[in-house]
Amino acid sequence: MKPPTGRRRRAPARRPARFEFLTVAALLVVATLVAGFLALTRQDNTAPAASAKGSPRKTSPKAGAEPSWDGKTKILGDGSTSDTGPQKGELKPEPLKPGEKPPQFVVFSWDGALEGSDHLFSHYRELAKKYDAHMTFFLTGIYLLPKNKAKLYHPPQHPVGSAAIDYATDEHIRTTLEQLRKAYEDGNEIGTHFNGHFCGKKGGGDWSVDEWKSEIDQFYEFVENWKTNTGYKDIPALPFDFEKEVTGGRAPCLEGQKNLLKAIKSYGWRYDASSAGDFQIWPTKKKGIWDFPLEMLPYEGGKYQGLSMDFNFLYNQSAGETDGNPADYPQWEQQTVASYLAGFDRVYYGSRAPLFVGNHFEDWNGGIYMKAIDQVIKNVCTKKGVKCVSFKELADWLDVQKPETLARLRGLDPAQSPDWSTVVK
């Protein structure tokens, strides 16, 4: 089977026409039209169709099914997802008033979003709730695809069914579905980490625009049809529509943003978090898409700068080994905490540029990077003027600000504490 290459909106359900008191001639005309219609319908189910979002793609046979409606919830497709209306508890975006100091935004984001045996997804969902924070959980599509259905995945430039990560167990698919539902109900964002996590040669950095679209389309296929693929009948529909909820993502290993940005425009996405290495400055757009990069933070007392992601601390501290010397764990943990807090303080008392933190649900080096984030959340989300938000909420807020105000904000040095009346007019 050729993998899909574009995204098409759900087609409205077709209703049979009602024919009454037709003449014989009219019946012959109608029969001809119906035959032509059926032929076109059969053709539509086997060949790519024009796309309202991306390029042409094949859809699941149930993707265009008539939604059921109970007055509050609209069940979509095969019952895997639903539309429950606007998400509750989201930050209300308001333009800054003249002279007003911007909020200090902090975004905690998680690559993969699997509720495994370590229960890290549920831990950070609950921690966010405790500290009145929202987070972004980037879901990997094949985490909702059973391993025995792996052949449904056609990764670009790789064998059918292959992936650079493990498929989830059946039980972990169940627990991940539960956490996705609760995370959304708590006001968190569900984004995408795509599917097979391919990096390096033949990874995202080598993919064409069409190959990125294929990867995106397959993400939608897996997450919108988990009921069909798993056969689970005892789990309710997720309380959101992925076509509306997913407005951005992060590419594996931060690779391939150039072609990815070209691909995601046709899906209506609003941001991308796949770039790295920028200092802490206010975001700008690339090709009309908000660019939310990982950031360079003071490391080892400011001797040099390190990237705001757990893997980069791991690389610097244990040369990329996930099980370094346990005797060094306490020092590395405090070093990680100190770097995050130094980066926070630099902008909190300076330009108020957002702080972006990217992590994985992993127990690398004894779980010290998870423990470090626990301390950072507790220390920063409770401070005056701080808003721990999702990427989607930040994009909403940026969109309502005056362009000239954002331009002046971007001109600030991270540690510069300006006269706000000259910046926000």
* Residue matched to tokens 């425009």: 265
For range 66-90, the mean pLDDT:
83
Q: Is 108 helix (H, G, I), strand (E, B) or coil?
A: strand
Residues recorded for the chain: 425
Q: Binning pLDDT at 50, 70 and 90, where does residue 70 land?
A: low
DSSP-assigned states of every residue in 150-191:
GGG---TTS-TT--SSPPPPHHHHHHHHHHHHHHHHTT-EEE
pLDDT band at 66 (very low <50, low <70, confident <90, very high): very low
Q: Class of 100-423 per CATH? A: alpha beta
Determine phi and psi for 316, rounding to 5 degrees.
-75, -35
Query: Is 401:410 a contact under the CB 8 Å cutoff?
Result: no
Q: Each residue of 374-398: pLDDT tens digit?
A: 999 999 999 999 999 999 999 999 9
CA distances from 229 to 48, 167, 271 (A): 22, 13, 30
**Structure confidence by residue, pLDDT tens digits, 217-251:** 999 999 999 999 999 999 999 999 999 999 999 99
Which class for 51: exposed (0-12), middle (13-18), buried (19 or more C-beta within 10 A)?
buried
pLDDT band at 72 (very low <50, low <70, confident <90, very high): confident
Contacts of 164 (CB under 8 A, 6+ apart): 196, 197, 198, 199, 203, 252
Instruction: Parse the chain into domains and list their residue ranges.
Output: 100-423
Name the nearest CA neighbour of 60 among 147, 142, 1, 138.
1
Residue 178: partners with Cβ closer than 8 Å, 6 or more residues away? 115, 235
> How far, in Å, CA of 118 to CA of 126, rounded?
14
CA–CA distance, 232 with 33 (Å, rounded to integer): 40
Q: What is the DSSP string of 296-347?
A: EEEETTTTEEEESBHHHHHHHHHTT-SS--GGGHHHHHHHHHHHHHHHHHHH
Res 278: pLDDT: 80
Q: What is the pLDDT of residue 276?
A: 87
**Counts for the chain of helices (H) and strands (E), in that order:** 13, 13
Q: What pLDDT was estimated at residue 71?
A: 55
Q: Which amino acid is at 136?
A: T
Name the amino acid, one letter, at 324: G
